[in-house]
């Protein structure tokens, strides 16, 4: 049975070049980058090379790239470190009501520490209420955090427009973008957007797990959360994960090498999947239509069939999808995104996410649609008994 992997927003297969680089660094160039001998210098070269590749993609300076253990750490550092560093300037933090737990949970912590956290509403397709946002942006705002691409339904936030609003209404506030689902899908230039911080995770773009980075502009004042040996300019201590960082750098370079072609391919797969789903009875597609939405995410509710039931039925046929955000699905909690867009309970309990990479094919989409056409009537008959 041929495997069809449609859960790329949860994690991606590591690219051969990235995996080869990780293995080489682990077994040959394994020195500590803080060591003052040749092995240490060789290891440090990989860190500098990865920072250079990432900085080139973002059009920023290498010194503004800080490597982390992943997107969750990058988000926590940007939010908690940013809020605590700027507390004297104000007390208000702006976000949305459909953020990933890696953002919403740190903000919940900050609310417990006395910060005012304001969540901006979204409509039924995930569009941000910009009028409400404009009303909330005032001189007391010290931090704005927005997800570029929603991880569940692929809704896209107008990050450039928000950057303009921020410059006009609260120019001293920090602007953070969670770009974990957007990096490698869009050309992202933080300075053009007006973003001070940007979080990225390596395993979402064919890099190794346990890797990521935070872009932090030189002007952004952020406290370190990890103290120790003073690595990474004293802002993120701890011996660097050199093999992971090296693999991340390779994956980032590959992601932007043929970006336009890769994105066009993923978008064609998404459109084909949505077209096929729209012709099925009892199927509701969530998110923004067409080019408004992200190129790689499809979220759909299959009314009358539980998410996990359908997920496992597809898995029996070698098709892997997600019943929700991989980082929070083990909690069995309601989806924050589907709640924010006002999805009825019957849709929330029957939604699955299919997410593509450049490695997926048209044939895989067609086979998945055919499997759904066969599975759904059987499952619905069984459930009605």
Please count the residues of the chain.
385
Q: What is the DSSP code (8-state) at residue 176? A: E
SS3 124: coil
| Three-state DSSP class for residue 61 | coil
Q: Strands 92-96, 141-147: parallel, antiparallel or unpaired by DSSP?
A: parallel
Active site residue 170: no
SS3 content of the chain, % helix, strand, coil (to 5): 45, 15, 40
CA pair distance 310, 283, nearest whole angstrom? 13
DSSP alpha helices (H): ranges in the chain? 16-27, 38-58, 71-76, 82-85, 101-112, 130-136, 159-169, 190-193, 242-257, 259-278, 307-315, 336-340, 345-348, 362-384
C-alpha to C-alpha distance for 54 and 254, rounded to whole angstroms? 11
- Cα separation, 133 vs 385, in Å, equals 48
Whether the CB-CB separation of 251 and 207 falls below 8 Å is answered with yes
CA-based R_g, the chain, Å: 21
* Closest residue by Cα to residue 357 from 254, 211, 213: 254
Secondary structure (3-state) at 370 = helix
For residue 220, what are the contacts with CB-CB under 8 A and spacing of at least 6?
82, 174, 196, 197
From the list 170, 252, 274, 327, the catalytic residue is: 327
Residues labelled catalytic: 327
């Amino acid at each position: 049975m041929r495997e069809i992997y449609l859960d790329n927003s949860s994690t991606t297969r590591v690219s051969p070049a990235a995996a080869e680089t990780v293995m080489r660094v682990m077994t040959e160039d394994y020195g500590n980058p803080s060591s003052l001998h040749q092995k240490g210098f060789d290891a440090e070269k990989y860190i500098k090379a990865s920072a250079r590749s990432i900085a080139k993609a973002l059009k920023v300076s290498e010194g503004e790239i800080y490597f982390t253990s992943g997107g969750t750490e990058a988000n926590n550092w940007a939010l908690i470190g940013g809020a605590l560093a700027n507390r004297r300037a104000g007390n208000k933090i702006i976000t949305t009501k459909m953020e990933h737990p890696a953002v919403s949970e740190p903000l919940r912590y900050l609310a417990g520490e006395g910060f005012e956290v304001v969540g901006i509403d979204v409509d039924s397709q995930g569009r941000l209420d910009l009028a409400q946002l404009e009303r909330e942006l005032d001189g007391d705002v010290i931090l704005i955090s927005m997800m570029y691409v929603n991880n569940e339904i692929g809704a896209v936030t107008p990050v450039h427009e928000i950057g303009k609003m921020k410059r006009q209404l609260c120019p001293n506030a920090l602007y953070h973008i969670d770009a974990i689902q957007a990096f490698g899908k869009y050309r992202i230039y933080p300075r053009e957007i007006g973003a001070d911080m940007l979080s990225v995770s390596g395993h979402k773009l064919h890099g190794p797990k346990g890797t990521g980075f935070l872009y932090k502009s030189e002007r952004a004042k952020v406290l370190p959360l990890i103290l120790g040996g003073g690595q990474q300019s004293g802002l993120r201590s701890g011996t660097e994960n050199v093999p992971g960082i090296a693999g991340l750098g390779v994956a980032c370079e590959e992601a932007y090498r043929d970006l336009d072609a890769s994105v066009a391919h993923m978008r064609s797969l998404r459109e084909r999947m949505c077209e096929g789903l729209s012709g099925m009875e009892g199927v509701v597609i969530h998110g923004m239509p067409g080019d408004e939405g992200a190129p790689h995410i499809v979220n759909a509710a299959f009314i009358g069939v539980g998410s996990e039931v359908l997920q496992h039925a597809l898995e029996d046929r070698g098709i892997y999808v997600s019943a929700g955000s991989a980082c929070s699905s083990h909690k069995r909690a309601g989806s924050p995104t589907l709640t924010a867009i006002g999805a009825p309970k019957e849709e929330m309990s029957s939604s699955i996410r299919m997410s593509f990479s450049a490695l997926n094919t048209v044939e895989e989409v067609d086979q998945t649609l055919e499997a759904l056409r066969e599975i759904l009537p059987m499952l619905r008959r069984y459930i009605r008994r």
